[in-house]
Amino acid sequence: MSENASSLHFLPWSVRPGARTWRCDPAPAEVRAFHAALPDYSPTRLTELPSLAAELGVGRVFVKDESCRLGLPAFKALGTSWAVHRTLVERAANGVEQGPVTLVTATDGNHGRALARMARRLGQNAHVFVPQGVHPQAVAAIVAEQAKVTEVPGPYDEAVRLAAEAAAVPDAVLVQDTAWPGYEQIPGWIVEGYSTLCAEIDEQLAGEGVAEGPDLVSVPVGVGSLAQAVVTHYRSRPSERAAALLSVEPEAAACVLESLTRGEPVSVTTGDTTMAGLNCGTPSSIAWPYLRAGLDAAVAVADSDSARAAGDLAVLGVSSGPCGAAALAGLRVALTGVGAEERRTALGLGPSSVVVLLSTEGPAANPHSTIGH
């Protein structure tokens, strides 16, 4: 059960003692091999930023830079490529005639573009539903991948509902990166696809002399699918030295934080945020058990926090959009201000700790990031 730190009521924060002792099964090993065989695959950069380590009072800080992943400006292509591959293999195994299929999804931008790219490459069709608030340039990028786009005059959850309806016809498949009861297999494959990112971090840290892995990983959260993959990776290890895991959401759409605080999955009414890819009101049903059991803490940040973080990362040579920079913004909020020492202790951080920030997108993924910079 989550324990909300009532003494820190001014800070949107939830902490769960004992998360580091929880264990689960690992992701399938063949995911990494699949990605490595793709023609445009290469590991994304893991960049060390000593000035951030000094600022945050830890030993070393690394940023996993997802601003160019399989030719796209965000990490999402890892999940969609594996899920589409598994979907088409499954259809063939079930004897479904192999004509073109329409891959349907709802998106805040990056997932839909990645799905459209995969569909185009594989000779399939794509139909992408986009909620209110997604920047026209992000919509244009999906259209440029030759997908049909339907703009929805409502929030993300409404776009998901309409996409599911549109996919309920022959020769269409919903490839959605959130799950709900009755729709969990394909979202599960998407989560598996993200495991490649974590496997790369292991190898890259080992190359930097950190073979035992990080002490803390900070991960931006929308519906929680990437966070589920991160929890799966770090909580499936036999290691005595488990990493602390911190989730970060926009204050305008903190569905995971609210769910952790209440101890059950809940939907929240979302507001406007420049962190468009994280503007989600309902946790994924398959992610929730992992988030509840395996996250050490959750925090919500303001748009101004992520904007500042993105600007600071840019100065340090890391291209990060508002969603990607949320990882730094969230850790900063947790480690500063009244109650910071209590939160630092809850996360197990000390002066020699190694921290990894997941910067999940570059500025090109979310044109809002250029505003005011």
Cβ atoms of 220 and 278 closer than 8 Å: yes
Catalytic residue among 76, 296, 303, 305: 76
Contact 254, 261 (CB under 8 A): no
Q: Is residue 148 annotated as a catalytic residue, yes or no?
A: no
- Nearest Cα neighbor of 359 from 80, 67, 43 is 67
Cα→Cα distances 105→130, 137, 191, Å: 9, 18, 15
Largest Cα separation within the chain, whole Å, is 62
DSSP 41-102: --PPPEEE-HHHHHHHTSSEEEEEE-SSBTTBSBTTHHHHHHHHHHHHHHHHHTT---S--E
Cβ-contact 274, 266 below 8 angstroms: no
Q: Which of 64, 65, 108, 177 is catalytic?
A: 108
DSSP annotation of 113: H
108 has catalytic annotation: yes
Strands, E assignment, the chain: 13-15, 46-48, 60-65, 102-106, 125-130, 148-151, 172-174, 216-220, 244-250, 297-301, 354-359
Angle at 170 between CA 166 and CA 172, to 5 degrees: 50
Instruction: Tell me which residues are annotated as active site.
Output: 76, 108
